Homo-oligomer: A and B are copies of this chain.
């Protein structure tokens, strides 16, 4: 059952038989429907989530009451409010499934125990965060460098499967656009 998670870990560190056996015990496997909330806003952020199947996003509600997607996770990716998780604070983000999903959830308590019991896992998470950190700085660079129209076209070229798969209203806020503007860009592209 935990094959996908273990295969993912194996890509980054060498998995001993002991680790292979013991890792799943630190996680909880969740099968969740579309639009289910895994972690509500204004709660302590005490879990990390790994997507085995499906799609999850993290959104916050802006000053005007509009939901804005700040992060996405498709298969083989992690999601949480990392700052709130690290600082043991309440999050202003809601973590919600976008599609029916299979998720591996780990609590802070179990995460701390996992790293203590199996320090080899430090390297796995170091690489997860190193990659994530780099990717989000690149995303910021795009926001600073390109017009809204260029951001959409660049993104569509780089991640076509993502653009096909994610509902338009969510994709729009993730790219810093309004759904109406994204709709116009898509129509323009088709014509």
Q: Are A62 and B145 in contact (CB under 8 A)?
A: yes
CB-CB under 8 A from A145, the residues of chain B are 60, 62-63, 68
Q: Are B70 and A137 in contact (CB under 8 A)?
A: yes
Q: Are B115 and A83 in contact (CB under 8 A)?
A: no
What separation, in Å, do the CA atoms of A150 and B130 have in the docked complex? 30
Q: Is the CB of A1 closer than 8 A to any CB of chain B?
A: no
Q: Is the CB of A125 closer than 8 A to any CB of chain B?
A: yes
What separation, in Å, do the CA atoms of A140 and B86 have in the docked complex? 18
Number of interface residues of A (CB under 8 A): 40
> Which residue of B is nearest A115, CB measured?
B123
Q: Mask for A117-139, Cβ within 8 A of B = 1, else 0? A: 00110110111011111111111
Q: Mask for A55-75, Cβ within 8 A of B = 1, else 0? A: 000001011000010110000
What separation, in Å, do the CA atoms of A81 and B130 have in the docked complex? 11
Q: Are B144 and A70 in contact (CB under 8 A)?
A: yes
Min CB distance A83 to B, Å, is 3
Q: Is the CB of A77 closer than 8 A to any CB of chain B?
A: no
Q: Are B134 and A81 in contact (CB under 8 A)?
A: yes
Q: Is the CB of A40 closer than 8 A to any CB of chain B?
A: no
Q: Mask for A89-131, Cβ within 8 A of B = 1, else 0? A: 0000000000000000000000000010001101101110111
Q: Is the CB of A188 closer than 8 A to any CB of chain B?
A: no
Query: A122-B123, A126-B129, A144-B173 provided; 14 other pairs, C-beta below 8 A?
Result: A62-B144, A62-B145, A70-B137, A70-B141, A82-B133, A83-B131, A84-B134, A86-B134, A115-B123, A122-B122, A125-B126, A125-B130, A129-B132, A136-B137
